Structure 1
């Protein structure tokens, strides 16, 4: 089974999601299929992670809406979690939260990588285990969009207003300053159901008469504001006018800002003339370079490599996020092709571009399927290199 974005939101299509819901309104999907998300996570996984992995704060947090719980209540002085104390608090009505469990569970890691490929953004998970008739947080909004997948039990959700549409990181929810508004929707999620909640939409959730386990999948997207800030930073590196000090005395009472306004207008014109290409490339490179390898079973692949033959069936690792680049040779050196993927750059002779692109395309192939002029031994050398780098694997 392919646990990707289309699977996550089925039967809604991705086209409909981005057209009608993304950054606009919440979306509830009910399936009457309790086992739909069962292969992604289970209560047994949480029990195993909490009691055997030696997790620490803030990987684990314990909270409840009607009482203050501090790390000292469930963790040792060195930060490591006391699983007995944490589960005791859970028995008394507290919610256990496991953050970034995708760094510990391969199936969650693969799921997040599949979503990252769709959103071109970092994806993280927070796992919420809530006892019956309990609430972890009061009404609030998040600073990032979330996909909530109900795994076990049931939880009642309440939706309120959007006091800040698509808030920035420094526009976090403050219960003292932000009114939650009137309730606009109420629904219960059962196992196999999901809800998409855009950032800024105020909400809360209470477990019903069953223990609830759900995954909150955070979409850490970049905004146009982020991009514009980076444009200014890049311009400032190349143009001294952006780096000059503000006028001395601009804080004085009665300061005449007309000259400063003219200077500001001139800088705005330079900003308006800036090219999108370099900053978009920088964002893309940063995203690709920081996607850590998801190469579960890599040792087994290397063992299998000894049996590589013309009949071996191979395929690219699922949901690879990569960039192919032509690298012209300098001073008589041969042209190269480079693939940036999983935090590394692999350089090969330019004539390997065709078979390289085919090997990374996602379709199952054999050595004979690779296009180009490489002979059989050359194709084997290429595939062995890709196997060692964790970019391709054997297709059983």
Structure 2
């Protein structure tokens, strides 16, 4: 077995088709995002204003991105989908919003406050939600539950907020009679509201739809899925509309009151994400322990496949012994073990899914091909067994493993 074949991605026979169109579309979205920034500069006739907007727009991204990276660590999403989600928010959704917000405002002769309160929530949440909906319909294995839905909703929202904020910061830098401030003072004042007080707003609005799609994935009937998705979409528009309306019509006191409400809602979503991430850890430990009991993996491998710290330690150990190729083998083996755990758990719980048994056995076969080149650290003392909270072998229907 050559290093190239040993470290190649697992050949999943049930892999979602359409990888090339997704990559091409992602590239086009990247070009579109750059084009939007250039367009902002052309419309403002000021490269400096756009440069200031771009610099300020980047500031909140590392902290918010770190949170979404943290909740995605146990079962990392495909990078191509993560990049596509961000760029869809940054280019696709923003482009749609720019066209239709202005079109509807001019068609119905709406004021800025009316457009922001009644038009923008519908247009923008629909535009952002198109990525989630398309992913749900086309690649349901990518969004496999509530945490995935919240994750992708947040990434799309981050992309949208990033580009939209560049527009707002640039306009504030240029100033105007309706702003009252200009230059660095105007841009800083807008940054304080959008970049410091409410950087989570757009990810939060779209989280309602992400939550609904994550729940819809777990349903067997379309009669249950459709109302969930429509309800989540309505929730996103409602949160967005109330936020914009509080700015346009409610005054300082109304805005402060709704801001506090938004913070509470955001805290609720964050708490839910943390609980679901911890649930992933419990499922990972439980399922892999059961798999080890069946003899599919060695029990001594469990710490290096389960705990984030131990997993990183195992990759460092392999890199020290065998270089980057050995570390890549361990990384691939850990990714396969994680996938095996969640697919196996879903099968044993009888959750909806396509060819779960066959996928479980195929992933196991891929792990077997990597095992001869696997360089894990020496075995450590056995770790406590996970609590048997609804163990899959007792709660699911009988499954025949051939």
TM-score by length of 2: 0.24
Higher relative contact order by CA 8 Å / sep ≥ 6: 1 or 2?
A: 2
For the pair shown, the structure with the greater C-alpha radius of gyration is 1
Higher strand share: 1
Higher helix share: 2
